[in-house]
Structure 1
């Protein structure tokens, strides 16, 4: 197990290094002056020069890349004469490990730079304010998809070939074929506008909102319902079909026939033997969909005005806020890698025959 984790962490490091490099080249080789993006149209040459010097835009591409890696690395080297390194409110947050004559080795949190458009606000703070809302939305959406999809898949497998099976398959196919942004518009208009008096739901809204007097922040769980349902429609359809096909395959195995020969009922065979063994492909789908939800909730969050990372990415793209886009991509890539490692461990728990290599 330890050897497996070390190997996986090594692969994760190389993957993240590749993502960091690609992201840097994509965004820092784009045409345009980042200093002008930050200052707008009313800048002077003195202001531009000051911003370029502060953020290192006046240096060569290679130097910027080295500084970019140094900012992201938890172990990094910094000048002893710099006052950017403090414990709380400085540019970097961490502790000094080893001091040399002119530099020190630091253990710090990764520094994702500062937003171009939010008055120098740290990107880590921007992501910290929005990512929890996206995670909540993704967790609720995948939970809805998993619970309903597994039930529909089992029902479809037990009724193979009849009208129940055909109906579920038809609905699943329609669910997979409809784009999320189209479903979001339909659900918002239907349940948030036309049927608002019956549902009590609104077309848009975030998890936290100010009250009518603009004084207190209130928790609005009802605003989670529509975006979570819309975001869960496509994975629900995939899970339903995967569960159906996997359960039918498992039910044809010899040990299932043996279980029936021992006098077990169909309910006992499914719950004690078939169901758990049929979950492997479903877990694969769930892990992939959950990771993609963190990046793919962009349109759903934007349409429902859900204050999450996806909505923040759209706004950053509209304003060319490159540090926010870069930070969001790196955070999503890190979460994706962590989820994949966790899924491999779940495989072993579901099926002891699976070996960690």
Structure 2
């Protein structure tokens, strides 16, 4: 088990590195001058050249990518004259001539648009996105499992056909379309009845300037974000349950008069959990890292809205930071999913 965990972590690190290299290549080859983006068009040439020298923006692509990964590395061998030392929070481990070995926090550089550290901005946005994704997937799992098991136990009935039609329709509608429909209906047309705002974030400032938790601002984004996962979880639950229902032990249990709830809990769920778990984990990672359109429509201040703002402003360090965090999220969720396989299904043994 331990060796498997370390193997998966190693593969995850390799995935992060390769994806980051590809993203760096795309961004750094774009026809935009990062220095002028950072200081504006009226800055003097000396300041621009100093900025390029500091972050090696006047060097070839492979050197720029290497220096960027140097900033992310917790251990670094660096020259005492390197201008980046002023930005690092580090501890010196060893000194040799004009170079020092340092232990430091991973440095994602500073946003071109705000001048704030990139990882600080991501750390502020990520909890709101996590809350939105977590509540969305909980609601989607609850409704998806119920609909899937009902559909499987009443296969080919009108109820089954209605659930399948609902799942097909809800999955076919893109998230940004469902977001617009939901915000128009529940916040604009029926706003006087629901009392729900058109836009808003999890944390907002009151009229007195106090930061307050606004849970009602989660309702519509959760509804918009959770529709598609409900359809996929329901369909996967139905397909997996139908395979198990044909088994002899299920037929025997039903012949003995077992009720449907006990049948689901004792026989269906333990034997069809793996494909359902795969669907849940993949969608949770997608919700956690890809709720871009939903956050944009509802002006919900999370990782998705932050990434869209970075793309609009061509904020290179923030774009890279957000993309790397997204990749890390997918790697972590996949690792946790693989470990849960062995926990829920005793037939699986991880070598």
Shorter-chain TM range is: over 0.9
Rounded to whole Å, the distance in 2 between the matches of 1:258 and 1:75 is 61
Rounded to whole Å, the distance in 2 between the matches of 1:112 and 1:205 is 28
Shift of 1:225: 0.6
Query: In the alignment, what sits opposite 1:41?
Result: 41
Query: In the alignment, what sits opposite 2:150?
Result: 155
What is the number of residues matched between the two proteins?
351
Higher relative contact order (CA 8 A, sep 6+): 2
Structure 2: any 5+ residue segments left out of the alignment?
A: none
Q: In 2, are the aligned partners of 1:277 and 1:350 still within 8 Å (CA)?
A: no
125, 129, 136: which one aligns with 2:131 = 136
Cα gap change, 1:60/1:272 in structure 2, threshold over 3 Å: closer, same or farther? same
Cα gap change, 1:261/1:104 in structure 2, threshold over 3 Å: closer, same or farther? farther
215, 218, 221: which one aligns with 1:227 = 221
Cα gap change, 1:282/1:262 in structure 2, threshold over 3 Å: closer, same or farther? same
1:301 is paired with a residue whose SS is: helix
Rounded to whole Å, the distance in 1 between the matches of 2:76 and 2:29 is 24
Query: In the alignment, what sits opposite 1:280?
Result: 274
Query: In the alignment, what sits opposite 1:351?
Result: 345
Structure 1: any 5+ residue segments left out of the alignment?
A: none
Query: In the alignment, what sits opposite 1:237?
Result: 231
Rounded to whole Å, the distance in 1 between the matches of 2:31 and 2:325 is 25
104, 107, 115: which one aligns with 2:103 = 107
Cα gap change, 1:91/1:347 in structure 2, threshold over 3 Å: closer, same or farther? same
2:93 is paired with a residue whose SS is: strand
Q: In 2, are the aligned partners of 1:114 and 1:123 still within 8 Å (CA)?
A: yes
Shift of 1:231: 0.4
Rounded to whole Å, the distance in 1 between the matches of 2:22 and 2:303 is 21
**Which runs of structure 2 are paired with 1:213-224 in the superposition (5 Å)?**
213=208, 215-224=209-218
Deviations 1:282-303 (A, max 9, x none): 1111111111123321110011
Rounded to whole Å, the distance in 2 between the matches of 1:270 and 1:62 is 56
**Which runs of structure 2 are paired with 1:286-325 in the superposition (5 Å)?**
286-325=280-319
Rounded to whole Å, the distance in 1 between the matches of 2:206 and 2:96 is 54
**Which runs of structure 2 are paired with 1:329-340 in the superposition (5 Å)?**
329-340=323-334
Rounded to whole Å, the distance in 2 between the matches of 1:159 and 1:108 is 59
Deviations 1:106-153 (A, max 9, x none): 3332211111111x2110111111111111111111111011111111
**TM-score scaled by length of structure 2:** 0.94
Q: Is the counterpart of residue 69 in structure 1 residue 96 in structure 2?
A: no
**TM-score scaled by length of structure 1:** 0.93
Query: In the alignment, what sits opposite 1:205?
Result: 200
Shift of 1:202: 0.7
Rounded to whole Å, the distance in 1 between the matches of 2:19 and 2:140 is 30
Q: In 2, are the aligned partners of 1:206 and 1:224 still within 8 Å (CA)?
A: yes
Rounded to whole Å, the distance in 2 between the matches of 1:59 and 1:291 is 36
Q: Is the counterpart of residue 4 in structure 1 residue 4 in structure 2?
A: yes
